[in-house]
Structure 1
Amino acid sequence: MEKSLKKYFPIFAGPTLIAFLIAFIVPFFMGLYLSFTKFSTLTDATWVGTKNYANAFGGESGFVHALWFTVLVCAISVVTVNLGAFCLAYLLTRKLRGTNFFRSVFFMPNLIGGIVLGYTWQVMLDAVLQRWDQTIINDWRMGLAGLIMLVNWQLMGYMMIIYIASLQNVPPELVEASQIDGASKWQTLRNVTIPIVMPSITICLFLTLANTFKMYDQNLALTDGNPLKHTQMAALNIVSLMYDKPGKAWHGVAQAEAVVFFILVSIIAVLQLRATRSKEIDA
């Protein structure tokens, strides 16, 4: 049986592996090579060594500031999105009236495209801020708040669905046993419910982190990095450097930034997964 399965493995897995090779592996190594060159097209690349990486972390590219701003947005969003999503999921699993309606309402923003979300929130926030002669792009703190609100509005409903599915699988006999032992609702939540749903917390933290860290279209539509690129996140900085800066030398710098960005996202994601999975083991 095992030999027959191995025989058909290339037939079933082959197309997926070929697509992965063409769409990810080959472009990744081509991009890695181009990050050490000065180029305008793939055929005129000139080797410059680590110069692009030095320029990427120089002041003119704005990459370092964009990274710090991205980390700030991610740090706040990961906490607010998951805390809000878990609270919503907890309330909507209490057998209240209209829970199905509210689940649908909270999930709907996740179905809207990032560009549409960005322009929608820009119009709404500017309408409010105009009372104080402000706009979303006048102050970087306004832009930061707007981005965080947008991320919460888009992702909270999706994470809520995952938490609801996990909370519904908590064995009711464990909850009843803790209540019989005299545990309060908070003690039951902390010592019984949360350890059981920890795998879902791991997934939601990872999804929020990944989606927020590589956010581009929402950032472009909401603030476009204004004022003076103070609200420019890393993905927007890379694309802007590639297409807006004159001269092919900046293409290599943008490619170097993309490689650094990929490595940083991978490291952060691995560390986050290891940290939360250790909680699952303890549970």
Structure 2
Amino acid sequence: MNPKLERNELNVKTDINRISKRKTNLKKALTYLAFVGPALVFFLVIQIIPFLMGVYYSFTSWNGVSSVVEWVGLENYKKIFTSDPQFFSSFLFTTKFMLAAVAVSNLIGFGFALLLNAALKTRNILRTVFFIPNVIGGLLLGFIWQFIFIKGFSSIGNVTGLAFFKLPWLGDEVTAFWGIVIVFAWQISGYMMVIYIAALQGVDNSLLEAARIDGASNFTLLTKIIIPLILPAFTICFFLTISMAFKIFDLNLSLTGGGPFNSTQSVAINIYQEAFQNNRYGLGTAKSILFFLVVAVFTTVQVMLTKKREVEA
């Protein structure tokens, strides 16, 4: 056979394979684009573009209404650090609230998970009951608990005479703080419970049975076997509760509105008041950028530490 014809046939086959690969790759790209494209567009429009605009406005003195946007550079950030003590007070409150809320909500959620992972006849009903508060909106939940703290506890206190129910739950700095923690934990612990239950159901029962045969107590089973095996669930739950607690807004707004005397004002409420009530949008966005950086640092450090514990376990 003619060598030239052989080379031509080989070149034709190569070209056909290239065209086929290109069509396959194009088909895959179009398939990925069809599935990912709409979500990516919404993510860009709702998240990325507003964030970049916020970064830009943080360097301006825009009031949120005027068509004139004046560039002021780092002036807003200087104001925050030199002449805005209330912002740092709200940051301190939010940090303390985050620590308390994360501890309480995860403790309750994990306790519920251990309880409902057992062979109880009513566990499915109880799981639903414990999860329901998570689907109630924060504003509605706040107003419901405001009524409970003010009217319900007062009535119970008058009937029983117990000092616990006679406390000024939303009228004092200390009790208002713990009131918000209680409501937050009541709302979010059911969600954490679901994550912990999913992790507990993935634990191999044969390991637990072998440990029991070797004489391990329930406490040893929990601390030496169960918790190390479900550390990824703790990583997820800590991450979620830290970010949720830091960003608390609607629950705080409806329960106390930041009072009494701004003692329970979260960072989110401080930013909201600065941008939309005081009409200092540039300063408000500067605060939100700083807030974003702090939350990012906290959550990153938490994930790194818990991931390290997972590897060690």
| Secondary structure, aligned partner of 1:94 | coil
Correspondent of 2:262 among 229, 247, 251: 229
In structure 2, C-alpha distance between the alignment counterparts of 1:69 and 1:237, rounded to whole Å: 11
Unaligned runs of 5+ in 2: 1-20, 158-162
| Secondary structure, aligned partner of 1:201 | helix
Superposition pairs of residues 35-114 of structure 1, within 5 angstroms: 35-40=58-63, 41=65, 43-60=67-84, 62-114=86-138
Task: Calculate the aligned-residue CA RMSD, in Å.
Answer: 1.9
Larger radius of gyration: 2
Q: How many residues align?
A: 280
Deviates more, 1:85-94 or 1:38-47: 38-47
Q: Look up the equivalent residue of 2:150 and give its one-letter code.
A: D
- Asked whether the equivalents of residues 149 and 170 of structure 2 are also in contact (C-alpha less than 8 Å), the reply is no
Deviations 1:75-118 (A, max 9, x none): 01111111111111101112123212211111111111100111
Unaligned runs of 5+ in 1: none
Correspondent of 1:268 among 279, 298, 301: 298
Deviations 1:127-159 (A, max 9, x none): 225857754442111210110000110001111
- Asked whether the equivalents of residues 39 and 46 of structure 1 are also in contact (C-alpha less than 8 Å), the reply is yes
Look up the match of 2:311.
Answer: 281
- Asked whether the equivalents of residues 136 and 223 of structure 1 are also in contact (C-alpha less than 8 Å), the reply is no
| Secondary structure, aligned partner of 2:147 | helix
In structure 1, C-alpha distance between the alignment counterparts of 2:94 and 2:150, rounded to whole Å: 22
Tell whether 2:39 aligns with 1:16.
yes
Superposition pairs of residues 208-247 of structure 1, within 5 angstroms: 208-245=241-278
Report the CA distance between 1:256 and its aligned residue: 0.5
Cα distance change on mapping 1:100 and 1:12 into 2, 3 Å: closer
Look up the match of 1:183.
Answer: 216
Q: Look up the equivalent residue of 2:310 and give its one-letter code.
A: E
Look up the match of 2:50.
Answer: 27
Superposition pairs of residues 95-244 of structure 1, within 5 angstroms: 95-127=119-151, 128-129=153-154, 135-244=168-277
Report the CA distance between 1:42 and its aligned residue: 7.1
In structure 1, C-alpha distance between the alignment counterparts of 2:84 and 2:243, rounded to whole Å: 27
- Asked whether the equivalents of residues 61 and 241 of structure 1 are also in contact (C-alpha less than 8 Å), the reply is no
Q: What TM-score do the two structures reach when normalised by structure 2?
A: 0.84
Identity of aligned residues (%): 36
Q: Look up the equivalent residue of 1:9 and give its one-letter code.
A: Y
